[in-house]
Amino acid sequence: MGIVAGIGVLLPFPFYWWLWTNPQSWVNLCGRGRDPSTMMARVSHVLKAAQLLSLFSVASLSWPPPLYFWPLMAFGQFLNFRVYQLLGEAGTYYGVRFGKSIPWVTEFPFGVIRDPQYVGSVMSLVACLSWVPFQYILLWSLGYVFMMFLESKEDPNARAKSVSP
């Protein structure tokens, strides 16, 4: 069960890598009239559900959680919500890579925290350490570190050419 859970935790990262490195292929696969960011969001939600099910399969839930759970989970989710609030679906789901124009954002947490969506997600994962074995939290967190590294090297010439219907 541990290997299956580990695979489940890592499941989305090859998909994200492929989208980041081959945005035109995704736009072509989505076809005319379909928003590639919306399609990515839908696939990402399914993959996120698989990740969460993988964690639940190895978790030992108990109540009440330790005191560190509340601030880590609250601030982590605040960062994730704030990123989505500022960037919207297209900004959160690689809209720039799919040829969309996303406004530059400097409000908090941008300009203060590098990659706030991943920092928030890692904080939320660490909050669950009392329930989930460390190696799964570490594996998922390393996936986010990989994505931060990958996304730090954005080549404008590799963006998709068109998202118009």
Sign of the alpha-carbon dihedral angle for 146, 97, 46, 119:
positive
Question: Which residues carry a binding-site annotation for S-adenosyl-L-methionine?
Answer: 74-76, 154-155
* Contacts of range 32-39, beta carbons closer than 8 Å, 24 or more positions apart: 32/165, 33/165, 35/90, 35/163, 36/94, 36/98, 36/160, 36/163, 37/89, 37/90, 37/92, 37/93, 37/94, 37/95, 37/98, 37/100, 38/89, 38/93
CA dihedral 164, 41, 17, 7 (to 10 degrees): -150
Distance between CA 119 and CA 15 in Å, rounded? Answer: 20
Q: Are 106 and 35 in contact (CB under 8 A)?
A: no
Question: Which residues carry a binding-site annotation?
Answer: 74-76, 154-155
Question: How many residues does this entry show for the chain?
Answer: 165
